[in-house]
Amino acid sequence: MQEEITSEIKIAHRPFVRWSLLTAGTVLVGIGILGIFLPLLPTTVFFLMAAWCYARSSRRFYEWLHHNKYFGKYIKNYREGKGISVSSKISTIVVLWGGILYSIFVTQSLVLGLILVAIAIGVTIHIIVIPTHRSE
């Protein structure tokens, strides 16, 4: 695993690029953390984007993200192809459909409702297709 992490890190040489990527990575980690608590805001995708930014700006931040006890598991499970747990899949789908149905109720627009249902179906299929991680 350590060899894989080392091969992914390609630090930019220009200071402006490094600082821009470091800033973007930090903002993305913040959004990812918000996604843990806010329904309909994804989490893993922001941590993955932050990891990409950190891999090009700071070895220390990249390794911190991968070894973080709270959200390092999201990246680790994704990188190893383990996917997400059954309980995460269920809670994600329930929150997704709850938010979509609430939005349809509030907007009361047939066209917008159909678009939201189509999006929810697509996201639900995507979540179901993601590999299921079983605790060891």
Whether residues 20 and 48 fall in one domain: yes
Whether residues 32 and 12 fall in one domain: yes
Query: What is the C-alpha to C-alpha distance for residues 81 and 88, in angstroms, rounded to an integer?
Result: 16
- Contact residues for 28 (Cβ-Cβ < 8 A; gap 6+): 46, 47, 49, 50, 53
- Is 111 among the domain residues? yes
The pLDDT score that the predictor gives to residue 1 is 47
Whether residues 62 and 112 fall in one domain: no
> Sign of dihedral through CA atoms 56, 63, 6, 80?
negative
Structural domain count of the chain: 2
The pLDDT score that the predictor gives to residue 6 is 57
Whether residues 72 and 91 fall in one domain: no
Residue type for 110, please? Answer: L
Whether residues 15 and 71 fall in one domain: yes
Whether residues 91 and 73 fall in one domain: no
Q: Which residues sit opposite 84 in a β-bridge?
A: 132
Per-residue pLDDT of the chain (136 residues; tens, 9 = 90+): 444 555 677 787 788 989 999 999 999 999 988 887 776 677 777 888 898 899 999 999 999 998 988 878 777 787 778 887 787 788 778 878 888 899 899 998 999 999 999 988 998 898 888 888 776 5
Tell me if the pTM is above 0.85.
no
Whether residues 102 and 71 fall in one domain: no
- Is 134 among the domain residues? no
Task: Tell me the residue range of the domain where 93 lies.
Answer: 86-129
Distances (CA, A) of 41 to 32, 92, 116: 8, 10, 15
SS3 at position 109: coil
Whether residues 11 and 70 fall in one domain: yes
